[in-house]
Amino acid sequence: MSLTLVSEQLLTANKLSHQDLHTVLGQLAERRLDYADLYFQSSYHEAWVIEDGIIKDGSYNIDQGVGVRAVSGEKTGFAYADQITLNALNQSAQAARSIVREQGDGRAHTLGEIRHQALYPLLDPLQSLPREEKIALLHRVDKVARAADPRVQEVTASVTGVYEQVLVAATDGTLAADVRPLVRLSVSVLVEEDGKRERGSSGGGGRFGYDYFLETVDGEVRADAFAKEAVRMALVNLSAVAAPAGGMPVVLGAGWPACCCMRRSATAWKVTSTAAVPRCSADRWGNWWHRNFAP
C-alpha cells in the first residue's frame, strides 16, 4: 500500500517509473561496486505558534530530492539532486560510481517490493485538520493554561506537522517505501509571584494526525492536559528552593567497602582535577596507586 502511494507521488508525478530506477541501477552496476542504492525523499513541514493570545508565526516548507550511494570495499561515493528527474538521476549515478574505474557486469537484480508491517497510519497529518481548527487548537491551549492559575503571565504554544515519504531502490533488488506522519504540540508557560518568575513546559505528539490532540484520555482532552502540566511544572519551579551545599555527614559500611570508597575518593577525584598540572598525569597517579595500595 505504501509503495503504491509513494510511487505515485514521488515517481509518477515526476514522470519516472520503476523501470527507470532499474536502468539507473544498471548504470551503477557497470562499475565494479559491491552495492548501490537510490534514496528518494519528500518532506512537507508546517508550524503554527501562538504567543500572548496572538498567532505570531506560521510557516510551510517543502523539501524533496534523491540521493545516490555507491559502495566498493571501504570506499563510498555519494551524489545528491534536489530535483527528482531522470536526467538528475543519471548525473548523480555517474558522479557516485566514479569512485571505481574497474568495469562491472552492468547487471542489477530485478526490483521486488519489500513488504513490512505498517506501524502507523498512511495519512497526511497536514490535511487532517483545517487551518481554522489548528488555530483554534492553539487558542484553546492558551485559554486553558491561563485559567489553570492566576499566576500565569505568559503562554507560548506551537503545533507542528511533518509529512515524509521515502522510497529506496537498490542493486540487490530491494524496493521499499514508507510514509512518515509526525505531529507535536508544545506548551511553555511563565508564572510570576512576588517578583519571582519561573517557566514550565510540556507537550507531546507522535505519528498521528492533529486530531490526536483532541482525543479524550482519562476524561480530559489531551491538549488540555498538556497545558495544565506546563502550568504545574512552572509552579513547582516557582516553589523550588536551593539545594543544600557544603560539608555533610557520609555513612559508609564497615570494613572493605568503606576502605575502598575512601581510597577511591582520595585519589580518583584528584586525578580528574590535575590534568593541567605538570608531572601529575593520570599514569603517574596510577603508578602511585599500585605502589601503595595494589595487593
Q: What is the DSSP letter of 195?
A: T
Residue 241, judged by CB atoms within 10 A of its CB (0-12, 13-18, 19+), counts as exposed
Among candidates 64, 58, 38, which has minimal Cα distance to 164?
64
Q: What percent of the chain has pLDDT over 70?
A: 86
State the average pLDDT over residues 190-206.
94
Which has more pLDDT, 100 or 215?
215
How far is 191 from 156, CA to CA, in rounded Å?
Answer: 12
Q: Please check whether residue 38 is in contact with residue 6, taking contact to mean a CB–CB distance below 8 angstroms.
A: no
The beta strand positions in 171-272, using DSSP E, are: 174-193, 196-206, 216-217, 220-221
- 118 pLDDT higher than 90: no
Return all residues near 12 (Cβ < 8 A) that are at least 6 apart: none
- 246 pLDDT higher than 90: no
Name the least confident of 36-50, 66-80, 202-216, 269-283.
Answer: 269-283
Task: Supply the pLDDT for residue 255.
Answer: 73
The amino acid at residue 64 is Q
- In terms of DSSP bridges, do strands 174-193 and 216-217 run parallel, antiparallel, or are they unpaired? unpaired
Query: Which contacts of 246-255 are long-range, i.e. CB under 8 A and separated by 24 or more positions?
Result: none
| Domain 2-238 fold | PmbA/TldD fold (3.30.2290)
Among candidates 211, 193, 210, which has minimal Cα distance to 159?
210
Task: Provide the pLDDT confidence category of residue 103 given band limits of 50, 70 and 90.
Answer: confident
Task: Supply the pLDDT for residue 204.
Answer: 95
Q: Please check whether residue 176 is in contact with residue 116, taking contact to mean a CB–CB distance below 8 angstroms.
A: yes
Matching residue, cell 509513494 = 6
Return all residues near 69 (Cβ < 8 A) that are at least 6 apart: 36, 37, 39, 76, 77, 78, 96
Matching residue, cell 486553558 = 144
- 250 pLDDT higher than 80: no
Residue 28, judged by CB atoms within 10 A of its CB (0-12, 13-18, 19+), counts as buried
Task: Supply the pLDDT for residue 275.
Answer: 52
Task: Supply the pLDDT for residue 81.
Answer: 93
Q: Please check whether residue 134 is in contact with residue 46, taking contact to mean a CB–CB distance below 8 angstroms.
A: no
Name the least confident of 186-190, 231-235, 261-265.
Answer: 261-265
Among candidates 6, 10, 205, 7, which has minimal Cα distance to 122?
6
> What is the overall mean pLDDT for the chain?
87
How far is 133 from 205, CA to CA, in rounded Å?
Answer: 17
Instruction: Indicate the domain borders of the chain.
Output: 2-238, 256-292
Q: What percent of the chain has pLDDT over 90?
A: 63
24-to-41, 82, 177 alpha-carbon distances in Å: 17, 17, 18
Buried/exposed code over 47-60 (b: 16+ C-beta within 10 A; e: otherwise):
ebbbbeeeeeeeee
- 71 pLDDT higher than 80: yes
Q: What is the DSSP letter of 109?
A: P
